[in-house]
Amino acid sequence: MKHTVTIYCASAANLPEVYIKAAADLGTELARQGAGIVTGAGRTGLMGAVADAALAAGGTVTGVIPSFMVERGWQHTGLSELIVTDGMHRRKETMAALATAAVALPGGIGTFEELMEIITWRQLGLFHGNIVIYNVDGYYDPLLAMLDSAVAKGFMRPDHKQLYTVANTQAEVIAAAFAAPADIKFSPKF
């Protein structure tokens, strides 16, 4: 089975090197493993680092970007394929439809929103691939604590933590992304 991994991550420039390196290393390794990569088509930040490294390693990168971002010149111009959508909702829908797995590297509001949406889609049976939170340098520790708190306070079912895998290393990301997706069965009661 050919894997296609959608990567959600920051497109902001001037990020700490630990995150840029993790993104580039992941892009390189996914390309070496023969996986296709889907990003939001940004040319800077972690998004640019993943794409540039994967392309340099001979991989394929598909970027999905709304037309208003192309009009602003935010797109990466060297991707294997660029898909231009009519808005953000179509962008996210397309990125999910192309993916056999989704990985969230560090990012800001947009990345958080994409991650929460794909987890929700997995919960609802709208996305069937694995979801991996790449917790580079403990970046996602506060979010993971919030999710634990939601479980502890009854806002989230404990078995919903099966919807995603937390990875602290690149090897863990690859293993989780490439694993056969689990058939998640939720308990009938909250």
Block means of pLDDT (10 residues each) for the chain, 190 residues, are 94 96 98 98 97 98 97 96 97 97 98 98 94 98 98 94 97 97 67
What is the number of alpha carbons within 13 Å of residue 132 lying toward its C-beta?
A: 27
Residue 45 CA to residue 190 CA, distance in Å, equals: 40
pTM here is: 0.95
The answer to the question of residue 143 being in a domain is yes
Span between the terminal Cα atoms of the chain, in Å:
36
The answer to the question of residue 154 being in a domain is yes
For residues 165 and 132, is the Cβ–Cβ distance under 8 A?
Answer: yes
What is residue 113's predicted lDDT score, i.e. its pLDDT? 97
CA angle 110, 113, 172 (to 5 degrees): 95
**Residue range(s) defining the domain that contains residue 133:** 4-178
The pair of structure tokens assigned to 38 is 């889907």
What is residue 6's predicted lDDT score, i.e. its pLDDT? 98
What is residue 184's predicted lDDT score, i.e. its pLDDT? 72
CA angle 137, 140, 142 (to 5 degrees): 115
The answer to the question of residue 185 being in a domain is no
What is residue 189's predicted lDDT score, i.e. its pLDDT? 56
Count of the separate structural domains present in the chain: 1
What is residue 182's predicted lDDT score, i.e. its pLDDT? 78
The answer to the question of residue 183 being in a domain is no
Provide the 8-state DSSP code for 161. G
Beta-carbon count within 10 A of 4 CB: 18
